[in-house]
Each structure stands twice: as C-alpha cells, then as structure tokens.
C-alpha cells in the first residue's frame, strides 16, 4: 500500500496464524466498574491496578450502544431473548448460606440462632409483587430448625421446602408441575450441590462466599 501506515497484529504471529475455527477468541471490554483502594489512587494516580477480575457476559446480553448502528442489534437481542431476568416467574432460594451468612450463634441456654437480613426479605416481597413465586429451600444438613422455617414462611409468605443431597431431583418436579422451562426459573445457591440447578436456571446467582463450583455455575 501507499504511504507508511501498515497493519501490525497484536495477538498473533502472522507466520503462525491459526484458522478462525481453531482460535478460542479473546475477551473485550464492554463496560466496567472501577472499585479501587485509596492507596492505589493516591500513590499511582490510577483507578486501575492491583488484582483485576472480570465477569464474562453471555453474547445475548453484551451489546454496547455507542453509535446509531448499534441500536438495531440491541433491539433484535431484546426481541429474541427479552430483558435479562424479566421472564422469570419462579425462584428457588437456599436459606442456609444465602438468606443467612453461614454463622450460628449459641445462646447461654444452648440454643442455635441464625440471622436473616431484612433487606433480603424486602427483596423477596418485591419479587412477589412482580408475580414471581419464591420457594425457600432447606435441607437436613441446614442449621435451620423447623420452627425457624415456619417463621420464615410467616415472615415472607413463601413456601419452605426441604431438599436432599441433590436439589435438582427435588426442584425439577416443581418446575414441571408449573409447566415452566428452566429459562423461566431463577435459582440462588451457595454449595457444590446447587451447581446443576444454577447451570440450568435462566437466571442464577451465588453469594460472594459461595463454593467455587457454585460461583462458576451462576450466571
């Protein structure tokens, strides 16, 4: 070509250029949250540095709208996939580790106590106002007594159901009974046993201290 401007690849060696079908691709930024320590800003004058993490979005939910031509693409994604999470009509939420923080308090009389955050119960009520049915899940291994389960039912208006070692086998009949697809279901869990449900659910989440299997399965 004329002139002195040439193209130089940054992510491959031209002599060893792979076929597109053999290339895993690469991540690109479509938005970010900068959460920085004070020392980083004061000492380096930067909001980026130290330990950097990323969250990989699914293609159907990762459209940047920067120029006019981006609008038709975004509109088609919404028509095809809907607003993320808007189609959910049923939510399963584990009690131990999700509504509670995993701590057990012991009273002087030897009773076990756990705490429930009021913001979580407020969030549940908001879901119910949007016609989302919320089912709370406990298991035989949960430090949640039947008395507390009854109180949760009264406090939130949610049914409390017990699941076994494989929660999927217990919640699947509920999904089928309501004639729902998994894309209509949300699931919040924190344990490795929840991974199958987290993978299947159209919308899933795990708390920050969840097991790595649960965190990786949540989307």
Q: Could you tell me if 89 and 182 are in contact, meaning their C-beta atoms sit under 8 angstroms apart?
A: no
Distance separating alpha carbons of residues 28 and 90, to the nearest angstrom: 33
Complete DSSP assignment for 25-86: -----S-------HHHHHHHS-S--SS----PPPGGG-----STTHHHHHHHHHHHH-STTT
Distance separating alpha carbons of residues 38 and 157, to the nearest angstrom: 43
Q: Is 125 assigned a catalytic role?
A: no
Cα separation of the two ends of the chain? 46
| Structure-token match 């930024």, residue found | 29
Residues serving a catalytic function are 17
């Amino acid at each position: 070509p004329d002139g002195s401007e040439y193209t130089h690849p940054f992510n491959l060696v031209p002599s060893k250029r792979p076929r597109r079908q053999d290339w895993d691709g690469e991540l690109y930024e479509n938005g970010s949250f900068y959460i920085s320590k004070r020392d980083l800003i004061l000492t380096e004058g930067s909001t980026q540095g130290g330990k950097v993490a990323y969250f990989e979005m699914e293609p159907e939910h990762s459209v940047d709208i920067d120029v006019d031509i981006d609008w038709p693409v975004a509109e088609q994604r919404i028509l095809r996939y809907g607003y993320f999470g808007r189609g959910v009509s049923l939510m399963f939420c584990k009690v131990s580790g999700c509504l509670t923080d995993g701590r057990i308090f012991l009273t002087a009389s030897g009773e076990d106590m756990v705490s429930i955050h009021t913001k979580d119960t407020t969030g549940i009520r908001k879901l119910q106002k949007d016609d989302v049915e919320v089912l709370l899940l406990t298991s035989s291994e949960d430090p949640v007594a039947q008395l507390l389960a009854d109180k949760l039912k009264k406090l939130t208006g949610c049914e409390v159901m017990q699941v076994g070692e494989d929660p999927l086998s217990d919640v699947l009949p509920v999904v089928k009974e309501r004639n729902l697809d998994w894309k209509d279901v949300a699931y919040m869990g924190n344990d490795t046993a929840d991974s199958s449900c987290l993978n299947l659910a159209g919308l899933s989440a795990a708390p920050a201290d969840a097991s790595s299997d649960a965190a990786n399965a949540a989307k």
